[in-house]
Amino acid sequence: MAGSDSKQGFDPLKAVLAVIFFVFCYAMLFFIGSAASQISNAVSGIPVVNLLLPIPPVWDPPGNPIGQISMMNLLLPALGFVIIFLGTDWLEKFFETKHAKTIVFPVVFIIFCLGAFFIANYWMAMESANLNHVALSQVIPDFWSYFWGSLRESAFYLFLLGGLLGWISKAIIDRIKL
């Protein structure tokens, strides 16, 4: 009976690893976002990396020591990481499934995030068109370009990347035998 509770207990070594993963992932997003203008030309030819860049910078404008700090860009990647890192265990218990630690979870997470962002952008564009008594195509001629452009410039993109890094960190930590 006591052996069955060994997975339920608090493991301080895994907690330290979680903090290390969090700091590493957060620093990675922070530095890539801050250096996006400098590295965008260098990585523009790499297909997979170019899909993920540019990441919105936390420090606006990048390189200016007295620039403004975007609190949304600063906090949302951390929030995404923590919610997904802690939420995978809750999802497994609540829905009695093991899919939260498989590749199914990040795919569903991305689909839901993109769907939510699409609905928000479409709603805002339709409201703008309705208030101005014009067609949507007059407000935003190419909605898909607008959608992808606004996603990659928004703090929600950082939330999405933070969540994916949280899931990767959780999957790695759970596979480590300590």
- Which sequence spans correspond to the domains of the chain? 11-175
Q: Which two tokens stand for residue 26?
A: 């957060």
Share of the chain above pLDDT 70, in %: 75
CA distances from 48 to 1, 31, 53, 58, 100 (A): 48, 19, 9, 23, 25
CA distances from 132 to 62, 121, 127 (A): 36, 17, 8
140-175 confidence digits (pLDDT tens): 888 888 888 888 888 898 899 999 999 999 999 988
32-81 confidence digits (pLDDT tens): 776 665 666 666 566 666 566 667 766 665 556 666 677 788 889 999 99
- With the C-alpha atoms ordered 48, 33, 107, 165, is the resulting torsion angle positive or negative? positive
